[in-house]
Amino acid sequence: MAPATQHVAPMWRYSLRWCLPHQPCPGDFELLVIEAPAGTRMPEEMHQAWKHRPEGYGVCLDFPQSRAVKRWSAEAKGRVRKQKMAKRIEKAAPLFADELIARELEQRPDYFKGE
């Protein structure tokens, strides 16, 4: 039996922060930050802070990534780049595809190795 994986509920990040990009921030960039379960209303503490906020600050809602970003290996990147290039060339010039693909691989070998 496989071990049970815990599902972490996604969280939303409410922040009271400076919202005027063309004016310098007079103090702290973020005055208040609260994380709340996804789908819930704005916390009352944030609502009260918003009511009494200084001029130029606003409530922002961010959706942080819950999973780590997957990075492709160099081999996988190279393989996919070759496949997409071949498909693109075969669609545009099917009669000369072999010659054009070989020329492209010769001109940019590092790119098609995934580097």
User: Domain-by-domain residue ranges, the chain?
Assistant: 11-62, 74-113
Residue 59's pLDDT band (boundaries 50, 70, 90)?
very high
Comparing 3 with 26, the larger pLDDT belongs to 26
Judge contact between 16 and 32, C-beta under 8 A.
yes
pLDDT of residue 1: 47
Enumerate helices (H) and strands (E) in the chain, giving the number of each.
3, 3
The distance of Cα 95 from the centroid of its chain, to the nearest Å, equals: 39
- Which amino acid, 21? P
pTM of the model: 0.52
What's the pLDDT at 114?
87
Counting residues of the chain whose pLDDT is more than 90, the rounded percentage is: 69
- Joined tokens for residue 110: 């590092």
Span 11-22, pLDDT tens digits: 899 999 999 999
